[in-house]
């Protein structure tokens, strides 16, 4: 079946737009983990809520019990690793009802690299999951909250949520949590100094506390702890509350409602000194506002800030309050000060060309139209994260991989692995450089399954693909799901 005359499915990201990172699902409150040359982004898995008649309703945040995870080594093409079953009846932490605002860390424990995922059980405590891989499977190592309202100095924290974790050069690790403005209505003093942030040293096992939490005092704190070390300085960052505008002390901090700002200290325990705001509220850049949540990270020698917006709410006609994740560059000056970042749809530049001569998860893309992703194996089905495949395929659906380098010798072969139904029929066309009028370089037919549920298909490429191209995979037919692909010379 030819895809040449198919009308491509609509996309939520225009050519050249790298934000948001994905459009197949929502993802909020992003947190970054760098490991083994890849950046992993963990996100609150916003769930679209509907009324009994099926009409959309605003996000209540009470249905969220999963954590989305993506990874990339070029910051533009992202591999979808699924949605970690974190809390609730099907989750690893069955004692918890929600999994908000994840934080991730890795550390060698007992001679083995372990990965840890911290999350908020609504506004009443912090859970921790662990795994042997950054994409899971994640399990609950302690069977209860790591921090709750019985933890010393935490009973009076308005919102006991939004963890951030830092593993220092010597292996010591620290956790920062909390937020909210006490009192209703709050006094001007409570607005300026909520005293609802807490920090503690983690145990060597990363799943216990080595110290009781202590209070820190971010001015105008709302939520969203962040922690970094740059040189010998510790940076605590956070989101300001929504009572800043009009407050008599606002000018002292040069601060507005719902901005990301930071403080510095020469110790992870503080005291921290306020510096300035570094990212305005998403509403300033994109129209819809709402809360502001971020993570600062370094990757390949440059600094970035990941955050969320609500720019997909309108085109998807959801009920409001659903978030998607962005990344933009962050400038750290030689003196350690941080410049104000800018939220964009363009996002960051691709860091390196994509290698097509290795097996690639089909759930790797910079943008797409019409498709979905689902677990590709039994482990991923059980735990929610791991290996995903492209699903929901219909005529005209597509995915795109940016900046693929086929080299001077070029690609002469193209192959893929699929899950198929008995009546599977269709094709994947490789289209170069433009979705609407690009060059069709190869077509991979899908059919004749002979009763198999898994199908491996290959084809020769009539004229070798050389050089660097944006590669579109355009689908026709139905009854199949795409697991992986690769090109050959």
What is the residue-averaged pLDDT of the chain? Answer: 96
Q: What is the DSSP string of 369-421?
A: ES-EEEE-SHHHHHHSBS-EEEES--TT-EEEEEEEE-TTT-EEEEEEEEEEE
Instruction: Tell me whether residue 23 is in a domain.
Output: no
Whether residue 229 contacts residue 167, with contact meaning beta carbons closer than 8 Å, is answered with no
Using CA of residue 373, residue 379, residue 384, residue 386, what is the dihedral sign? Answer: negative
Other CB atoms closer than 10 Å to residue 231's CB: what's the count? 7
Tally the C-alpha atoms within 13 A of residue 378's C-alpha that lie toward its C-beta: 0
- CA distances 328 to 103, 245, 373, 455, Å, are 19, 26, 25, 39
- At 1, is the pLDDT very low, low, confident or very high (cuts 50, 70, 90)? very low
Write out pLDDT tens, residues 245-289.
Answer: 999 999 999 999 999 999 999 999 999 999 999 999 999 999 988
Whether residue 314 contacts residue 334, with contact meaning beta carbons closer than 8 Å, is answered with no
Instruction: Tell me whether residue 91 is in a domain.
Output: yes
Structure tokens belonging to residue 42: 């963990």
In the predicted model, what is the mean pLDDT of residues 177-183? 96
- At 468, is the pLDDT very low, low, confident or very high (cuts 50, 70, 90)? very high
Domain harbouring 464, CATH code: 2.60.120.260
Burial class (CB in 10 A: 0-12, 13-18, 19+), 138: buried
User: Do 307 and 370 belong together in one domain?
Assistant: no
Determine the structural domain holding residue 434 and report its residue range.
360-488
Query: Is the pLDDT score of 4 beyond 60?
Result: no
Instruction: Tell me whether residue 51 is in a domain.
Output: yes
Query: Is the pLDDT score of 452 beyond 90?
Result: no
Domain harbouring 235, CATH code: 2.115.10.20
Provide φ and ψ at 252, rounded to 5°: -65, -30
Of 309, 330, 351, the one marking the end of a domain is 330
Q: Which residues contact 151 (CB under 8 A, 6 or more apart)?
A: 209, 212, 213
Structure tokens belonging to residue 92: 């690893």
- What's the pTM value of the predicted model, to 2 decimals? 0.97
| pLDDT score for 422 | 82
Task: Report the distance separating Cα 429 and Cα 445, nearest Å.
Answer: 9
CA angle in degrees (0–180, nearest 5) for 475-480-483: 85
Q: In 290-318, which positions are buried (b, 16+ CB within 10 angstroms) versus exposed (e)? A: bbbbbbbbbbeeebbbbbbbbbbbeeeeb
Query: Is the pLDDT score of 450 beyond 60?
Result: yes
Task: Say which DSSP state 191 is in.
Answer: H
Write out pLDDT tens, residues 391-426.
Answer: 999 999 999 999 999 999 999 999 999 999 888 899
The count of domains in the chain is: 2
Q: Which of these is catalytic: 74, 80, 140, 223?
A: 223
- At 56, is the pLDDT very low, low, confident or very high (cuts 50, 70, 90)? very high
| Start-end of H helices in 405-448 | none
Does 29 participate in catalysis according to the annotation? yes
User: Do 42 and 132 belong together in one domain?
Assistant: yes
| pLDDT score for 289 | 87
Does 329 participate in catalysis according to the annotation? no
Instruction: Tell me whether residue 86 is in a domain.
Output: yes
Write out pLDDT tens, residues 311-333.
Answer: 999 999 998 999 999 999 999 99
Task: Report the distance separating Cα 83 and Cα 69, nearest Å.
Answer: 6
User: Do 252 and 386 belong together in one domain?
Assistant: no
User: Do 151 and 256 belong together in one domain?
Assistant: yes
């Amino acid at each position: 079946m030819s895809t040449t005359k198919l009308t491509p499915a609509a996309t939520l990201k225009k050519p050249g737009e790298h934000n948001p990172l994905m459009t197949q699902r929502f993802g909020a409150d992003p947190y970054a983990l760098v490991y083994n040359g890849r950046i992993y982004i963990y996100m609150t898995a916003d769930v679209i809520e509907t009324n009994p008649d099926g009409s959309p309703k605003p996000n209540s945040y009470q249905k969220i019990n999963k954590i989305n995870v993506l990874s990339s080594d070029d910051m533009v093409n992202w591999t979808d690793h699924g949605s970690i079953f974190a809390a609730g009846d099907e989750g690893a932490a069955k004692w918890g009802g929600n999994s908000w605002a994840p934080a991730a860390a890795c550390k060698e424990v007992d001679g083995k690299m372990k990965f840890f995922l911290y999350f908020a059980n609504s506004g009443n405590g912090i859970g921790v999951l662990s795994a042997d891989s950054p994409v899971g499977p994640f399990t609950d190592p302690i069977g209860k909250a790591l921090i709750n309202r019985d933890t010393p100095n935490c009973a009076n924290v308005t919102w006991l949520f939004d963890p951030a974790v830092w593993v220092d050069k010597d292996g010591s690790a620290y956790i920062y949590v909390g937020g909210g403005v006490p009192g209703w209505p709050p006094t001007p003093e409570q607005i300026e100094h909520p005293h609802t942030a807490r920090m503690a040293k983690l145990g060597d096992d990363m799943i216990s506390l080595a110290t009781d939490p202590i209070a820190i005092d971010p001015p105008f704190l709302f939520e969203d702890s962040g922690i970094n070390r740059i040189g010998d300085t510790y940076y605590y960052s956070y989101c300001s509350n929504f009572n800043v505008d009009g407050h008599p002390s606002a000018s002292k901090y040069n601060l507005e409602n719902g901005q990301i700002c930071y403080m510095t200290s020469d110790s992870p325990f503080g005291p921290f000194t306020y510096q300035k705001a570094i990212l305005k509220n998403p509403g300033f850049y994109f129209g819809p506002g709402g809360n502001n949540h971020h993570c600062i990270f370094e990757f390949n020698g440059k600094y970035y800030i990941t955050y969320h917006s609500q720019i997909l709410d309108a085109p998807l006609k959801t009920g409001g309050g659903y978030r998607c994740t962005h990344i933009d560059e962050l400038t750290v000056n030689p003196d350690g000060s941080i410049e104000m970042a800018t939220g964009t749809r363009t996002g960051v530049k691709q860091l390196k060309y994509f290698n097509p001569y290795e097996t690639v998860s089909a759930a790797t893309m910079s943008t797409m139209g019409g498709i979905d992703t689902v677990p590709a194996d039994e482990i991923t089905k059980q735990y929610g994260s791991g290996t995903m495949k492209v699903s929901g395929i219909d005529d005209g659906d597509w995915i795109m991989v940016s900046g693929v380098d086929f080299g001077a010798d070029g690609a002469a072969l193209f192959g893929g692995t699929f899950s198929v139904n008995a009546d599977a029929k269709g094709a994947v066309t490789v289209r170069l450089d433009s979705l609407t009028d690009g060059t069709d370089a190869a077509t991979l037919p899908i059919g004749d399954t002979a009763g198999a549920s898994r199908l491996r298909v290959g084809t020769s490429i009539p004229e070798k693909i050389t050089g660097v191209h944006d590669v579109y995979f355009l689908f026709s037919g139905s009854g199949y799901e795409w697991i992986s692909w690769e090109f050959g010379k």
